[in-house]
Amino acid sequence: MEKIKVSIFGATGYTGIELYRRLKVREDIDIVALPSKRSPGKKYIETAGSLVGAEETLTEWNVEETIRKSDVVFTALPHGETFEIARWTKILGKKMIDIGSDYRLDAEQYQKWYGLEHQIPEAIQEAVYCIPELHRKKITKDTWLIANPGCYPTSIQLPLAPLIEAGIIETTDIIADSKSGVSGAGRGLKQITLYGEQNENVNAYGAGNHRHKPEMERHLGELKGVAIKILFTPHLMPMTRGIHSTIYCTSKDKVTEEQIRDLLKEKYKNEKFIKIMEKGNYPHTKWVLGSNYCQIGVVYDQDTNKIILFSAIDNLVKGASGQAIQNMNILLGIKEDKGIENLPVFP
Amino acid sequence: MEKIKVSIFGATGYTGIELYRRLKVREDIDIVALPSKRSPGKKYIETAGSLVGAEETLTEWNVEETIRKSDVVFTALPHGETFEIARWTKILGKKMIDIGSDYRLDAEQYQKWYGLEHQIPEAIQEAVYCIPELHRKKITKDTWLIANPGCYPTSIQLPLAPLIEAGIIETTDIIADSKSGVSGAGRGLKQITLYGEQNENVNAYGAGNHRHKPEMERHLGELKGVAIKILFTPHLMPMTRGIHSTIYCTSKDKVTEEQIRDLLKEKYKNEKFIKIMEKGNYPHTKWVLGSNYCQIGVVYDQDTNKIILFSAIDNLVKGASGQAIQNMNILLGIKEDKGIENLPVFP
Amino acid sequence: MEKIKVSIFGATGYTGIELYRRLKVREDIDIVALPSKRSPGKKYIETAGSLVGAEETLTEWNVEETIRKSDVVFTALPHGETFEIARWTKILGKKMIDIGSDYRLDAEQYQKWYGLEHQIPEAIQEAVYCIPELHRKKITKDTWLIANPGCYPTSIQLPLAPLIEAGIIETTDIIADSKSGVSGAGRGLKQITLYGEQNENVNAYGAGNHRHKPEMERHLGELKGVAIKILFTPHLMPMTRGIHSTIYCTSKDKVTEEQIRDLLKEKYKNEKFIKIMEKGNYPHTKWVLGSNYCQIGVVYDQDTNKIILFSAIDNLVKGASGQAIQNMNILLGIKEDKGIENLPVFP
Amino acid sequence: MEKIKVSIFGATGYTGIELYRRLKVREDIDIVALPSKRSPGKKYIETAGSLVGAEETLTEWNVEETIRKSDVVFTALPHGETFEIARWTKILGKKMIDIGSDYRLDAEQYQKWYGLEHQIPEAIQEAVYCIPELHRKKITKDTWLIANPGCYPTSIQLPLAPLIEAGIIETTDIIADSKSGVSGAGRGLKQITLYGEQNENVNAYGAGNHRHKPEMERHLGELKGVAIKILFTPHLMPMTRGIHSTIYCTSKDKVTEEQIRDLLKEKYKNEKFIKIMEKGNYPHTKWVLGSNYCQIGVVYDQDTNKIILFSAIDNLVKGASGQAIQNMNILLGIKEDKGIENLPVFP
């Protein structure tokens, strides 16, 4: 059987490394290019000592040529850097999975939130935004571009979607309070991500104003054609990986905790990667570490008529590269959990 | 000048140790007894290697005798274990500061939330619940018992109080999402507080159902004679010390972020330990570590008309032993910041 | 093809969980029993929330019956608890891999260091102590018992063995200074392994007196029939997983760093899991986290004629359960890296 | 009483911040200048949010003027940047304490190890290198320049000095294996000090080749006029503060562990900050965190005739700014522990 030829644009960041380490050990995948703008020719292992056994060197940033020799192209790049790649992927009839944020918003919102005119708005139209458990049916044989969801949005949409679809909560009165490990801030050198500054530290940032807010509102809204308003507050935690989201919703009618739990269980009953916690149990980021799993919990507070949802994912796996591989598998008709079947690393 | 004679009931827990380490180096304090039920006679330093130079041994658990030779008694004990101590403190005309939770609720609520009948309800009446920046005027020369506030309640009431007093928020629609370091769970041996289980872990617990909820509702309500309803969700963080609270309130009228910031600044303008963050800045637990300071931030989200308050304290200092010392200083007419004047430990 | 039937005695500890999580996703393995003395009948997932999807319950501690239905039995138990299991494994003609310490020393040393008379000394004789890269040839079709090496000894013997075999160092003048993550202390409840006590902490323990010392001296000695003397000092680190060993040896003759590096490279040139660092590079525990890899580095200090060796492994993988699976694979003639082929988790 | 006027060159690094936070709360100190090359005019608190209440702005880098208005000048700068400051300090008859490394080695060694010609070698002659417990007698009323010892050298010389003075170990056969928190690498932006790269990581660096090696050899040698040879291997730990050193020496004659412990106790019997651990107890970095204390332990290994010394300090306190304040106190005839009397922060 011929191997699938894969390239990774942005292989030296944290999501790129997670992608590589999972694809490299698959017998059905061939990694054919790791294009780098800054250091073509450099040995890949010199960029991260964990890449034991990696013999690749970073390749030239030659977009057309790279895509020509690939079946699937992954992009893990800052926003605004994938336009040429998307253009060539389409021209050459290949597949592209963008782990970045260039195809998650419509063109107008993109300009508003990223301060940048989108150069190929038609690609946004054709892109499939895909959390597999919610959107995998949208992928067809013609799909050539996947907009891989953001880490926070994955952790928030998975628990919320069934409640929105069921029409049981006020969709414009949602608060999402998320807690993320430091790897979510990327591998760039910033003072706040230094060990000495972030150990023993918790802080909020960008409250009400984060770019993942319009992403969630757009795609949750499309589930059922309703307007969604989310007050979203991200926080940085003293840990490397993991996102925990606590989501406060107002119930339209009286419900019981059990009814909501049943609704979540029913929705995800065939989903390997989604685990609904039993009564009294809460998701723990530690319990999904290094895996593609998502744990979801629920509490109903009678006193305030609020439904509280909890979720835990690994931001670099289900929140990025793991989900990207899941999407690739679907796109290519491969077993959906291939390469991401491992159980969480514990302790 | 004669020294103040102090005893600590519960000296081997985390709050007891923090108390000791701050009182020990004061030239105006004499630590006269460290009563222990389990290990009287044991060297104090054998219970924590950080107690360098401590020559004390744990003393017999003799309540009357201990109080007789003390001017001030600190109790850092599990709930229900201070009744006899309070009784003798009053009889003998001494002062008592309870860092635990026996005098924070009224007798009825106490029974409901702690599952225990309160044995000296009259002491609750006479106790002064005191976050100094909010309640110090209640302390009089007759005050003999201070109910030192809980760690979460301190971090939540300090930012909320000025808004409640000003009457600008809906007081029954408040959500408090708090994140605490592991030391908040105490020094007892539990699987969840093992390093291997809590490193790289974030989880919620006791959502809507934590004993600190009625404490906050009671004391915030008394500020202005209004009913308070708080949906409170505590979380455990992979760090040792620190609490960060994110509080969501609904504004009664249109306001600006600046107005709220000004209101907070005005309220706390003479308070050394309270720091209001400037626009765009957020409290960080790391920035108050090991100190009695509290940082408070605010964001107003026009889209949802929500005021978001942020606060950071060290749970063992401003959230427990530091505040207890602050209260002792007030009670005895000593300079209020004595023994807790240090700046945060950084990094 | 028929699946291999496997049981795990001691499935609820950290090594048991690591074993389970790796075996569970293999299509050629069937986990048939998880015997538990304390809680037979309890759901396995209730013992660790990370066991997402585990449907097993802990089974009765019935040794004979368990082994009868198994092909391979893993034991991850405190010392002295495997004797009956070994006896039945042999009687029933099955295979056993002991991740504990019951078959690593000879009977006399065992009694001396563990304070316990060994009940089946003949099993020690028949057991194969096996770090695959050093001893895999000792495994024959008759081998029924593998003594899986300790975590510290694995990290120390891998770098040292080639130098001892080459006869270039003084074998009775070796110092090994090892640094281990807290998971090495197990999952039992001890004050020292509490998050609050171990975060920001480094300490030595059991210097010169650890049970892993005779294990290393015995098995390194057998490599070339020489006496070995190691001064071994283990340290606890504020991290969950990983062992880093720094080993100081005296060179018999003048050598260069390059010669030693070449010797290490030559020895391990066909070994997938062993990586010799290039000049100027040092092993990092982070770079082998969650994997079966071992990184080895070397520095020669001309001034003191000392060769310094460095190694990094994950104590729960190459130092325990990963190596146990590697040994099982060899024992059964399966591809040696099956189930442990993943690259390190980074970051 | 007039206050002591103090300036800090290099106030925005970790040692500068530790210095500031301790001096700021002293009633006998006035901080008169915080000169900055890069950002004069910037508010000091903007460089670290932990500087609650700091109203200072960074001042102009005007060396002469700064020193003219100061009594004592602290320098916490990269090597080679203090020469002009030392020159003016001497001219103007003020005192200077260099927390950096410009006056620790003789001029020749300085050039060799720092690759830089020393511009005022006569200042090295006049400087007093001072670990107070070992060298405080060298400080006289004429002393104008203190070379504050390095963090590793402090942790290694304190346990070793009594043994060298007593003449009981081979002074050219010493191995020091040190483990440091990340703050020792400074506040500069480096990939290795990112949270994501250093959490769960241990690695050695600069083995046999670190600039602190000649510092220790020089000053230990001067204690008794003997040649010292130390093989020194530093390691980076996943923690913020703290250094733990494990030191292996060869005993000249048969000794007992007790004899060495007694020798250490005798040497330091009047030293508040030095604590000798009792038999079976080991120093823990957590037990000295945030304090000026140093814990020292000892084990004698009969089998190899090695004496193993252990020490723990906080690298930013006893290893830098705390010791600098201790030195300033001695220099000015103030109570030696003033401003550094606090007990360790625990947990």
Residue C240 touches chain A, beta carbons under 8 Å: yes
Q: Which residues of B touch C238 (CB under 8 A)?
A: 195
- φ, ψ for residue B281, nearest 5 deg: -105, 145
3-class DSSP state for residue D106? Answer: coil
Whats the size of chain B, residue-wise? 347
The answer to whether D183 contacts A196, with C-beta atoms less than 8 Å apart, is: yes
pLDDT at residue number C1: 72
Q: Which residues of A touch D12 (CB under 8 A)?
A: none
Amino acid letter, residue D25: V
- φ, ψ for residue C187, nearest 5 deg: -100, 0
Q: Note whether residue A323 is domain-resident.
A: no
Q: How many CB pairs under 8 A join A and B?
A: 154
Rounded-to-integer distance, Cα A25 and Cα C204, Å = 38
How many Å is the Cα radius of gyration of chain B? 20
Pair (A25, A113) in one structural domain? yes
Q: Which residues of B touch D347 (CB under 8 A)?
A: 14, 17, 183, 187, 240-241
Nearest C-alpha of chain A: how many angstroms from B209?
Answer: 9
3-class DSSP state for residue B230? Answer: strand
Cis preceding-peptide flag for D40 (omega within 30 of 0):
no
Nearest C-alpha of chain C: how many angstroms from A109?
Answer: 32
Nearest C-alpha of chain A: how many angstroms from B328?
Answer: 28
Q: Which residues of B touch D241 (CB under 8 A)?
A: 347
- φ, ψ for residue C339, nearest 5 deg: 90, -10
Pair (A100, A12) in one structural domain? yes
Q: Note whether residue C329 is domain-resident.
A: no
Pair (C212, C109) in one structural domain? no
Rounded-to-integer distance, Cα D2 and Cα C343, Å = 64
Residue C251, domain CATH: 3.30.360.10
- φ, ψ for residue D143, nearest 5 deg: -60, 125
Q: Note whether residue B347 is domain-resident.
A: no
Share of chain A above pLDDT 90, in %: 99
Write out pLDDT tens, residues B258-303: 999 999 999 999 999 999 999 999 999 999 999 999 999 999 999 9
Rounded-to-integer distance, Cα A343 and Cα A325, Å = 16
Q: Note whether residue D34 is domain-resident.
A: yes
pLDDT at residue number B101: 97
The answer to whether D52 contacts B21, with C-beta atoms less than 8 Å apart, is: no
Whats the size of chain A, residue-wise? 347
**Average pLDDT, stretch B178-207?**
96
Amino acid letter, residue B152: Y
Range of the domain at A244: 152-314
Write out pLDDT tens, residues D112-163: 999 999 999 999 999 999 999 999 999 999 999 999 999 999 999 999 999 9
Rounded-to-integer distance, Cα D226 and Cα D218, Å = 10
Rounded-to-integer distance, Cα C305 and Cα D115, Å = 25
Assess contact for D202 and C236: CB atoms under 8 A.
no
Q: Note whether residue C275 is domain-resident.
A: yes
Burial class (CB within 10 angstroms; exposed 0-12, middle 13-18, buried 19+) of D293: buried
Pair (A63, A105) in one structural domain? yes
Q: Tell me the β-bridge partners of A297.
A: A310
Rounded-to-integer distance, Cα A223 and Cα A218, Å = 9
Cis preceding-peptide flag for B347 (omega within 30 of 0):
yes
Residue of D nearest to C197 (CA): D347
The answer to whether A208 contacts B175, with C-beta atoms less than 8 Å apart, is: no
Q: Note whether residue D341 is domain-resident.
A: no
Residue A233 touches chain B, beta carbons under 8 Å: yes
- Locus of tokens 């963080």: B237
Residue of D nearest to B312 (CA): D50
Q: Which residues of D touch A191 (CB under 8 A)?
A: 187, 189
Assess contact for B99 and B151: CB atoms under 8 A.
no
Share of chain B above pLDDT 90, in %: 99
- Locus of tokens 């049943």: A262
Nearest C-alpha of chain C: how many angstroms from D16?
Answer: 21
Rounded-to-integer distance, Cα B186 and Cα B199, Å = 16
Residue C51 touches chain A, beta carbons under 8 Å: yes
Could you give the C-alpha distances from D158 to B291, D154, D274, in angstroms and in order? Answer: 30, 6, 9
Residue B42 touches chain A, beta carbons under 8 Å: no
Angle at A29 between CA A23 and CA A34, to 5 degrees: 65
Q: Which of C242, C232, C259 is nearest to C318 (CA)?
A: C242
pLDDT at residue number C114: 95
Cα C83 from chain centroid (whole Å): 20
Amino acid letter, residue A201: N
The answer to whether C200 contacts D285, with C-beta atoms less than 8 Å apart, is: yes
Q: Which of A199, A278, A272 is nearest to A239 (CA)?
A: A199
Residue B301 is nearest to which of A208, A244, A306, comparing CB atoms?
A: A208
How many Å is the Cα radius of gyration of chain D? 20
For residue D126, how many other CB atoms are within 10 A of its CB? 14
The answer to whether C14 contacts A51, with C-beta atoms less than 8 Å apart, is: no
**Average pLDDT, stretch B160-179?**
98
Nearest C-alpha of chain D: how many angstroms from B346?
Answer: 6
Assess contact for A303 and A297: CB atoms under 8 A.
no
Residue C329 touches chain B, beta carbons under 8 Å: no
Assess contact for C15 and C320: CB atoms under 8 A.
yes
Pair (C195, C264) in one structural domain? yes
- φ, ψ for residue C54, nearest 5 deg: -70, 125
Nearest C-alpha of chain C: how many angstroms from A108?
Answer: 35
Rounded-to-integer distance, Cα A68 and Cα A190, Å = 36
Of the residues B187, B195, B201, the best mutation for testing chain C's interface (the one with the most C CB atoms within 10 Å of its CB) is B195
How many Å is the Cα radius of gyration of chain A? 20
Specify the pTM. 0.97
Kindly indicate the confidence band of residue B1, based on its pLDDT and cuts at 50, 70 and 90.
confident
Write out pLDDT tens, residues B107-117: 999 999 999 99
**Which residues, other chains included, contact A61 with Cβ-Cβ below 8 Å and sequence gap of 6+?**
A35, A36, A37, A40
Which 115-174 residues of chain A touch chain D by CB within 8 A? none
Residue A49 touches chain C, beta carbons under 8 Å: yes
Assess contact for C236 and C180: CB atoms under 8 A.
yes
The answer to whether B229 contacts A304, with C-beta atoms less than 8 Å apart, is: yes
Pair (C242, C120) in one structural domain? no
The tens place of each residue's pLDDT in chain C, 347 residues long, gives 799 999 999 999 999 999 999 999 999 999 999 999 999 999 999 999 999 999 999 999 999 999 999 999 999 999 999 999 999 999 999 999 999 999 999 999 999 999 999 999 999 999 999 999 999 999 999 999 999 999 999 999 999 999 999 999 999 999 999 999 999 999 999 999 999 999 999 999 999 899 999 999 999 999 999 999 999 999 999 999 999 999 999 999 999 999 999 999 999 999 999 999 999 999 999 999 999 999 999 999 999 999 999 999 999 999 999 999 999 999 999 999 999 999 999 99
Q: Which of D93, D94, D104 is nearest to D147 (CA)?
A: D104
3-class DSSP state for residue B53? Answer: coil
Pair (C215, C81) in one structural domain? no
Angle at A148 between CA A145 and CA A149, to 5 degrees: 140
Assess contact for B288 and B273: CB atoms under 8 A.
no
Residue A347 touches chain C, beta carbons under 8 Å: yes
Write out pLDDT tens, residues A307-339: 999 999 999 999 999 999 999 999 999 999 999
**Which residues, other chains included, contact C153 with Cβ-Cβ below 8 Å and sequence gap of 6+?**
C104, C212, C215, C216, C219
Residue B116, domain CATH: 3.40.50.720
Residue D191 touches chain A, beta carbons under 8 Å: yes
Given a cut of 90, is residue D199 above it in pLDDT? yes
Amino acid letter, residue B334: I
Q: Which residues of A touch C315 (CB under 8 A)?
A: none
Which 260-289 residues of chain D touch chain C by CB within 8 A? 282-287, 289
Q: Which residues of B touch D291 (CB under 8 A)?
A: 52
Could you give the C-alpha distances from D213 to D87, D156, D182, D334, in angstroms and in order? Answer: 27, 10, 19, 32
Pair (A159, A119) in one structural domain? no
Given a cut of 80, is residue B79 above it in pLDDT? yes
Q: Note whether residue C328 is domain-resident.
A: no
Q: Note whether residue A341 is domain-resident.
A: no
- Locus of tokens 């260069």: C256
Domain endpoint, select from D74, D109, D126: D126
Rounded-to-integer distance, Cα B189 and Cα B187, Å = 7
The answer to whether A246 contacts B204, with C-beta atoms less than 8 Å apart, is: yes
Pair (A176, A121) in one structural domain? no
Q: Tell me the β-bridge partners of A314.
A: none
Q: Which of C72, C67, C60 is nearest to C26 (CA)?
A: C72
Pair (A158, A286) in one structural domain? yes
Residue of D nearest to C205 (CA): D282
Q: Which of B177, B49, C308 is nearest to A306 (CA)?
A: B177
Domain count, chain A: 2
Pair (A62, A173) in one structural domain? no
Give the up-direction half-sphere exposure of residue C11: CA atoms within 13 A in the CB hemisphere: 35
Pair (D80, D172) in one structural domain? no
Residue D206 touches chain C, beta carbons under 8 Å: no
Q: What token pair was written down for C30? A: 């069937």
Rounded-to-integer distance, Cα D181 and Cα A5, Å = 43
Nearest C-alpha of chain A: how many angstroms from C21?
Answer: 6
**Average pLDDT, stretch B42-57?**
97
